[in-house]
């Protein structure tokens, strides 16, 4: 995709020199360069290498811009990165927790350390001039939108989608019925979930929904704890998983395999595991006409899986079951079995019913955004209504990430999303929509005054160093502090 320069640029020609094929015109050797208000990218010459994009700076704001970003996950930090590419911009990144990185720290599974390596990029962003943290500050409780709006030119909300969607099935309130989002937060050491009781004393766990979160949860439940002990999994979760009696995790998809929400790389990763068996319950039909290459590959892989348990009885397994939904959860004081209704091709009219004993049920049917005080909210979609990141009816307020576009996509998706929102902020700064910074002064000092108990960047670095040092001595990437932070 060739990029198009849509606004007057900074004119330092860094992007022109970065281009390996001289596609950005006019270049500084051309006499037109001096008078050009805008450069353009010649689509015939451009090879779409992206070298220019990382350097392109929009017209810098004509006055100093101070921006509060609420949320220190990938969306918030990518927004900080985009803003700090401009001259004269400072950002303060707020988070309710005393540790940053959102779902990279408390969502990405501990056995996916390659994905977590994005934290190296986050450290580079933190080191940019003008970057500040105010961690451990709950916006909406200890500081309100109106106060932030008075102190900053713009406030960008990157609060994500931290709630789980509720499964409306009789018996869902029984002990032992929980959610994958809570389970994930627990094994990742989220401070809100450290004392959760996760009952792993039964043979079978049923997971409802078959997205990547469900696959993560199923994999962690069936992985050898000795392998997990080499990751940054929370100590309390490792201890519980060492005592686990779970042998089988059944992952229920309400639709057929062609609609399975887990992605091809996750399936490939699962099938590459030697320490667990992956089984498909039932036949996998031929790919539908509309299937793309990825889906055809996914269905071929599913078809290659055994349909019956084959490995040694001691082996743990994951069963992928399609066209199946829980009809009700049954139990006296605790869930004991799941009544499942299945209706796939070849099922009798009305489908079939099955009773599956299980001691733990995790609903994994997607995340949901929560309302933000003072901002409009769309309860059906769980997002803040916006136009290109600008919050509807509230000038100076912006959204980015899952609270903007819903709980979809990967970490990198937030980069494009952040660029769109930051472009809106910069356009509003240039056109005079945003108010000047008030009060003047050093932002680091002001933050210490406004939030004396907050965790700033040096303090977070001390926590980070201590966690990594603790991990090093145990042969792990880090040992997380899960409380008293
Ligand atoms: P998701 O991908 O949206 O999957 C939700 C699942 O829940 C789907 O199978 C959906 O089925 C099902 N579902 C929804 N409502 C249901 C209901 N009422 N009853 C039964 N099933 C229901 O959500 P997610 O797994 O939470 O993942 C969120 C995002 O994070 C995704 O974009 C995901 O790719 C990403 N993520 C990526 C990774 C990774 O790359 N390793 C890891 C974790 C998460 P239907 O399709 O029929 O609606």
The closest residue, in CA terms, to atom 2 on ligand 1 is: 211
pLDDT score of 49 = 52
* pLDDT bucket at 58, cuts 50 / 70 / 90: low
Report how far ligand 1's centroid is from the alpha carbon of 407 (Å).
9
The closest residue, in CA terms, to atom 15 on ligand 1 is: 365
d(C-alpha 118, C-alpha 413), whole Å: 13
d(C-alpha 400, C-alpha 91), whole Å: 15
List, chain by chain if needed, residues with CB within 6 Å of any ligand 1 atom: 208-214, 216, 253-255, 259, 261, 263, 266, 325, 364-367, 407-410
The closest residue, in CA terms, to atom 7 on ligand 1 is: 365
Report how far ligand 1's centroid is from the alpha carbon of 210 (Å).
6
pLDDT score of 197 = 87
Three-class DSSP category at 224: coil
Nearest to 326 by CA among 163, 171, 164, 165: 171
The closest residue, in CA terms, to atom 23 on ligand 1 is: 366
Report how far ligand 1's centroid is from the alpha carbon of 395 (Å).
33
Question: Phi/psi of residue 140, each to 5°?
Answer: 110, -20
Per mean pLDDT, which range of 10-14, 39-43, 236-240 is the poorest? 10-14
Asked if residue 374 has pLDDT above 80, the reply is yes
Report how far ligand 1's centroid is from the alpha carbon of 253 (Å).
10
Report how far ligand 1's centroid is from the alpha carbon of 408 (Å).
8
Q: Which pairing describes strands 324-330 and 337-342: parallel, antiparallel, or unpaired?
A: antiparallel
Yes or no: say if 191 and 463 are a contact pair by the CB < 8 Å rule.
Answer: no
The closest residue, in CA terms, to atom 18 on ligand 1 is: 167
- Indicate the top mutation candidate among 107, 164, 167, 365 to test ligand 1's pocket, ranked by most ligand atoms within 8 A of CB: 365
The closest residue, in CA terms, to atom 39 on ligand 1 is: 212
- pTM attached to this predicted model: 0.87
Q: Which pairing describes strands 248-252 and 204-208: parallel, antiparallel, or unpaired?
A: parallel
d(C-alpha 422, C-alpha 405), whole Å: 15
C-alpha distances (whole Å) from 93 to each of 58, 75, 132 are 22, 11, 6
pLDDT score of 9 = 54
Report how far ligand 1's centroid is from the alpha carbon of 130 (Å).
37
Report how far ligand 1's centroid is from the alpha carbon of 47 (Å).
35
Report how far ligand 1's centroid is from the alpha carbon of 191 (Å).
24
Looking at the CA of residue 112, tell me the nearest atom of ligand 1: 41
What's the rounded mean pLDDT across residues 360-366?
97
* pLDDT bucket at 71, cuts 50 / 70 / 90: very high
Mean per-residue pLDDT over the chain, rounded: 90
**Max Cα–Cα distance, the chain, nearest Å:** 83
Asked if residue 21 has pLDDT above 90, the reply is no
> Which uninterrupted H or E stretch holds 34?
helix 32-35
Asked if residue 98 has pLDDT above 70, the reply is yes
Asked if residue 47 has pLDDT above 90, the reply is no
The closest residue, in CA terms, to atom 33 on ligand 1 is: 212
pLDDT score of 15 = 66
pLDDT score of 162 = 87
Nearest to 321 by CA among 337, 341, 295, 336: 341
What's the rounded mean pLDDT across residues 97-104?
96
- Indicate the top mutation candidate among 110, 162, 209 to test ligand 1's pocket, ranked by most ligand atoms within 8 A of CB: 209
The closest residue, in CA terms, to atom 4 on ligand 1 is: 211
Residue with the larger pLDDT of the pair 257 and 474? 257
Report how far ligand 1's centroid is from the alpha carbon of 242 (Å).
28
Pseudo-torsion of CA 116, 118, 121, 125, nearest 10°? -80
> Which uninterrupted H or E stretch holds 301?
helix 293-303
Report pLDDT digits (tens) over 223-278. 999 999 999 999 999 999 999 999 999 999 999 999 999 999 999 999 999 889 99
Q: What percent of the chain has pLDDT over 70?
A: 88
pLDDT score of 350 = 85
Report how far ligand 1's centroid is from the alpha carbon of 209 (Å).
6
The closest residue, in CA terms, to atom 3 on ligand 1 is: 366
- Indicate the top mutation candidate among 75, 206, 261 to test ligand 1's pocket, ranked by most ligand atoms within 8 A of CB: 261
d(C-alpha 295, C-alpha 319), whole Å: 19
To which residue do tokens 């990547």 refer? 212
Beta carbons within 8 Å of 363's beta carbon, 6+ residues apart = 164, 165, 166, 167, 172, 177, 178, 179, 180, 207, 208, 209
The closest residue, in CA terms, to atom 11 on ligand 1 is: 209
Beta carbons within 8 Å of 123's beta carbon, 6+ residues apart = none
Total residue length of the chain: 485
Looking at the CA of residue 408, tell me the nearest atom of ligand 1: 32
Asked if residue 311 has pLDDT above 90, the reply is no
Tokens of 424: 């809106």
Per mean pLDDT, which range of 16-30, 264-278, 319-333, 371-385 is the poorest? 16-30
Yes or no: say if 482 and 235 are a contact pair by the CB < 8 Å rule.
Answer: yes
Quick one: how far is CA 33 from the chain centroid? 42
Report pLDDT digits (tens) over 112-153. 999 999 999 999 999 999 999 999 999 999 999 999 999 999
Asked if residue 54 has pLDDT above 60, the reply is no
pLDDT score of 64 = 80
Report pLDDT digits (tens) over 413-449. 999 999 999 999 999 999 999 987 778 889 999 999 9
Report how far ligand 1's centroid is from the alpha carbon of 128 (Å).
35
What's the rounded mean pLDDT across residues 318-339?
97
């Amino acid at each position: 995709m060739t990029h198009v320069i849509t606004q007057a640029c900074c004119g330092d020609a860094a992007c022109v020199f970065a281009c390996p094929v001289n596609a950005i015109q006019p270049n500084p050797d051309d006499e037109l360069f001096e008078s050009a208000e805008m450069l353009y990218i010649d689509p015939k010459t451009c090879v779409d290498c992206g070298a220019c994009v990382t350097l392109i700076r929009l017209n810098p704001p004509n006055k100093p811009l101070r921006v509060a970003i609420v949320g220190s996950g990938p969306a918030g930090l990518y927004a900080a990165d985009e803003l700090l590419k401009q001259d004269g911009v400072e950002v303060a990144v707020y988070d309710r927790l005393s540790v940053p990185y959102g779902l990279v720290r408390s969502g990405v599974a501990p056995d996916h350390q390659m994905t977590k390596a994005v934290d190296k990029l986050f450290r580079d962003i933190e080191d940019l001039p003008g970057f500040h943290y105010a961690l451990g500050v709950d916006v909406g409780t200890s500081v309100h939108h109106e106060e932030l709006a008075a102190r900053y030119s713009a406030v960008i909300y990157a609060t994500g989608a931290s709630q789980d969607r509720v499964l409306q099935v009789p018996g869902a309130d029984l002990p032992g019925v929980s959610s994958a989002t809570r389970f994930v937060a627990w094994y990742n050491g989220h401070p809100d979930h450290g004392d959760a009781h996760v009952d792993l004393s039964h043979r079978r766990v049923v997971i409802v929904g078959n997205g990547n979160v469900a696959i993560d949860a199923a994999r962690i439940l069936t992985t050898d704890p000795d392998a997990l002990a080499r990751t940054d999994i929370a100590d309390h979760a490792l201890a519980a998983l060492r005592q686990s009696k779970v042998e089988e995790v059944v992952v229920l998809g309400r639709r057929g395999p062609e609609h399975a929400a887990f992605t091809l790389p996750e399936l490939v990763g699962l099938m590459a595991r030697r320490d667990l068996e992956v089984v498909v319950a039932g036949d996998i039909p031929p790919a539908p006409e509309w299937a793309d290459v990825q889906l055809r590959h996914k269905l071929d892989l599913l078809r290659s899986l055994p349909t019956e348990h084959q490995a040694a009885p001691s082996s743990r397994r994951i069963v992928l079951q399609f066209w199946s939904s829980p009809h009700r959860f049954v139990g006296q004081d605790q869930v004991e079995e799941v009544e499942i209704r299945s209706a796939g091709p070849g099922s009798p009219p009305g489908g079939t019913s099955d009773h599956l004993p299980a001691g733990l049920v995790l609903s994994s049917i997607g995340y949901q955004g929560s309302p933000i005080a003072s901002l409009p909210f769309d309860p059906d979609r769980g997002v803040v209504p916006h136009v290109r990141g600008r919050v509807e009816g509230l000038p100076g307020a912006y959204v980015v990430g899952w609270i903007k576009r819903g709980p979809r996509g990967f970490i990198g998706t937030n980069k494009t999303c952040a660029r769109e929102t930051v472009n809106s902020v910069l356009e509003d700064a240039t056109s005079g929509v945003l108010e000047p910074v008030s009060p003047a002064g050093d932002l680091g000092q002001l933050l210490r005054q406004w939030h004396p108990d907050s965790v700033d960047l040096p303090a977070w670095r001390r926590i980070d160093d201590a966690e990594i040092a603790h991990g090093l001595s145990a042969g792990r990437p880090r040992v997380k502090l899960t409380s008293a932070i």
